[in-house]
Amino acid sequence: MTAIAKGSKVLVTGANGYIPMWVVRILLERGYTVRATVRTAGNIGYIKEYFAKLGYGDNKLEFVVVEDIIKEDAFDEAVKGMDGIIHMASPFHHHAKNPQEVISPAVQGTIGVLKSAYKNGTNVKRIVVTSSTASIHGTLEPHKFTELDWNTHSPSIIEEQGEKSNPIYIYLASKTLAERAAWEFVGKVKAEVNWDLAVINPTYVFGPPIHDLKSVTSLNTSLAMWYGSIFPEVPKTKEELTQSLTWVDVRDVALTHVFALEIPEAGGERFIASAESFIWQDWLDALNTLQTNPLPSHAIAKGFPELSAGEKTYDVVYETTKAHDVLGVKWTSMADSGRDTLAEFAKRGW
C-alpha cells in the first residue's frame, strides 16, 4: 500500500511518554500535523509548552484525552480525519501482581485503536504499532533473533502460573499477546480497509528524555536502569556489570516509527530496533572515553575495565538488517547516546 505523504495528519497515542514525545517531535520537524492522545488533561500543559518553544503551535499540534484505552470505543473520535496512526500507549513495568494489570491494556488498547480505525479511519493509510523485542525473544538458549521469531515461552508461563507469575514474564507475555492480536485483527479486515500495519520491536531504550520528569526518581523503567548502572553511588559487582542485554537510542526508535509510516515497503512488516548487544561495563568504558563529563555533578563509574579485555559473549543478539535495508536506519553509538543523555540530565539540574 501507499504510505502517507509528508505534511499529513498523524495520530500519536500515549504522547506524553518517553518514546512518543520524540515521535511527536520528529513528526513536527518533518512537517506533519499531529493529534496527540493523553490519559488526563493534566498531561497536556508540559507537551504544549515544550513544542511551543520549538515553534509548533495549535495549528500543528492538537490533543485528545483518552482516559481509558481499554474501552471499546476509546479511540473512535481520535482517529477521524487522520492519515496515519502511531499507537504507542501501553504499560511498561515489572511490578504487576495480576497479569491482567498489564496484559489487558496492552492487548485491548492495541485492538481498540485498530477497531476504531476500521470503523472511523476513512483517511488512514498506515498504522504503526509499538511492540517490543519481548515478543521476539522466545528462548533462553543463545540465539540470533530475527523478525521471524516469536516469544511463545512467556505466554505459556502466564497460562500455567497465573497470578503466581514473575512480573517480568507478565510484561513479556503482554507484548507478545498484544502484537499477535494486532496481526490477527488486521488479517481479518485487510480486504475491507485502506490501511495496512507495520510493527516496531525495540529492545531496551536509552537516550535523552524530553518528556515531563520531575526528578530522577520518576525516570521510566529502562532509563532508570541505565541511570542506576553508570554512577558509582551504589557500586556494581563484576557479575552485575557482565549482565548481557541489548539497547537502542530513543531517537532511533522514534525514527523507525516515522520511517515505517512513510515508506511503502514497510507495510505488513515488523522491524527490530536494536543498536547492539552489551554488558554494562561496555557503557562505563564508552562514557569514560568522553573528553568531558556532561554531568559534572556525578562521577561516572570505572567498573572493572578488564572485563572488556578479550572476546565477549552476549546472551542475546538481534539481526537488524531489515530495519537498515527497508527503513534506512542508522544506530546511534553508546558514546553519543550517553553524552546526550548526561547533558539532558545536567540541563534539568540533576
Could you give the maximum distance between any two Cα atoms of the chain, in Å?
A: 59
Strand 61-65 and strand 33-38: pairing?
Answer: parallel
Contact between 113 and 87 under an 8 Å Cβ cutoff? The reply is yes
Residue of 60, 175, 214, 312 marked catalytic: 175
Pairing outcome for strands 33-38 and 9-12: parallel
List, in sequence order, the alpha helices (H) in the chain: 18-29, 44-53, 99-120, 153-161, 167-189, 221-230, 238-241, 250-262, 280-287, 321-322, 334-347
3-state secondary structure 78-136: CCCCCCEEEECCCCCCCCCCCHHHHHHHHHHHHHHHHHHHHHHCCCCCEEEEECCHHHC
Per the annotation, the verdict on 48 as an active-site residue is no
For residue 266, count CB atoms less than 10 angstroms from its CB and return exposed for 0-12, middle for 13-18, buried for 19 or more. Answer: buried
The separation between CA 119 and the C-alpha centre of its own chain, rounded to angstroms, equals 27
Name the residues annotated as catalytic: 175
